């Protein structure tokens, strides 16, 4: 498995099963959800950290100005990002995954009603290479580095693009390397993405934390047996439909401080 340096597939917890057979031999109807916490990692100080890139470290809202540049309303940026994620997940779930960037490009075409030239489309997509960091991201990454926690970035899409963006933001110096869903061949929040990432890093899952602003990604990591740190600056809280993270806080650096305070 390729890990872009900076400076055995395991599906983890089983997902919901349809038509499970009960003790009486009858086929049950409805979804049978595994018991929350069945394979939950104990709350201990992590030895490795994996940090989501887009919207956790780098600000996706900066893409809005690119929409204005090409004559489109900036609110289309949010719709584009939602459609790109939806289509990427749909392709993965249907067994036809591909480069996430291609799904994003097609989502951009449909969001802008197929009115943009190729040059305009690529102007928007090139914005992913120059996203500014969130204010709390460097503080969090620097704190992990000072605590001697090997930290890796995990990007949805191209690893090369993520490396370029992190370089431009001046943050890759804090990272041991970068992983990407394109390289893994599995889209987050599929638990396999996190087990494969840990395998690539030779990191023990229950001592590896995923830090993200996306509750779904943290939920997938928890189901894979990792620790979970959720920065709620975007979601405002922890969804009750998902497994609770080991720690949560509004700011990414506060999440890191809580993780480092866990018992060793």
88-111 pLDDT, tens per residue?
889 888 988 888 899 999 999 999
DSSP state of 202: T
Q: Which of 20-24, 168-172, 193-197, 244-248 has the lowest mean pLDDT?
A: 20-24
> What's residue 6's pLDDT?
62
Q: How confident is residue 13, by pLDDT bands cut at 50, 70 and 90?
A: very low
Pairing of strands 177-180, 31-32: unpaired
Q: Average of pLDDT values for 146-150?
A: 98
Coil, helix or strand at residue 195: helix
Q: Which residue would you say has higher pLDDT here, 99 or 161?
A: 161
Which helix (H) or strand (E) is 178 found in, with range? strand 177-180
Q: Which of 4-13, 139-148, 165-174 has the lowest mean pLDDT?
A: 4-13
Residue 175 and residue 215: Cα distance in Å, rounded?
23
Q: Average of pLDDT values for 187-198?
A: 94
> What's residue 4's pLDDT?
72
Residue 258 and residue 263: Cα distance in Å, rounded?
10
> Would you tell me how many other CB atoms lie within 10 Å of the CB of residue 187?
23
Residue 44 and residue 124: Cα distance in Å, rounded?
42
Confidence check: pLDDT of 16 > 60 = no
User: Domains (ranges, CATH) in the chain?
Assistant: 48-59+131-260 (3.40.50.1000), 60-130 (1.10.150)
């Amino acid at each position: 498995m390729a890990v872009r340096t900076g400076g055995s597939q395991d599906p983890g917890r089983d997902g919901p099963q349809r038509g499970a057979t009960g003790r009486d031999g009858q086929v049950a109807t409805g979804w049978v959800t595994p018991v929350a916490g069945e394979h939950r990692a104990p709350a201990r100080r992590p030895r490795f950290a994996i940090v989501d890139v887009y919207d956790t470290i780098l600000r996706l809202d900066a893409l809005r100005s690119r929409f204005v540049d090409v004559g489109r309303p900036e609110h289309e940026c949010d719709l584009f990002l939602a459609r790109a994620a939806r289509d990427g997940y749909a392709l993965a779930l249907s067994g036809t995954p591909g480069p996430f960037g291609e799904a994003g490009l097609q989502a951009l075409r449909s969001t802008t009603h197929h009115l943009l030239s190729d040059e305009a489309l690529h102007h928007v997509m090139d914005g992913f290479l120059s996203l500014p960091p969130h204010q709390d991201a460097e503080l969090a990454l620097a704190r992990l580095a000072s605590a001697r926690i090997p930290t890796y970035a995990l990007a949805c899409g191209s690893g090369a693009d993520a490396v370029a963006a992190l370089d431009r933001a001046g943050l890759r110096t804090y990272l041991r390397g970068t992983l990407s869903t394109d390289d893994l061949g599995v889209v987050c929040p599929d638990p396999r993405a996190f087990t494969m990432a840990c395998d690539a890093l030779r990191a023990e899952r229950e001592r590896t934390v995923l830090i993200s602003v996306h509750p779904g990604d943290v939920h997938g990591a928890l189901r894979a047996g990792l620790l979970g740190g959720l920065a709620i600056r975007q979601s405002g809280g922890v969804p009750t439909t998902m497994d609770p993270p080991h720690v949560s806080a509004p700011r990414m650096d506060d999440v890191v401080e809580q993780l480092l305070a866990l018992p060793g």
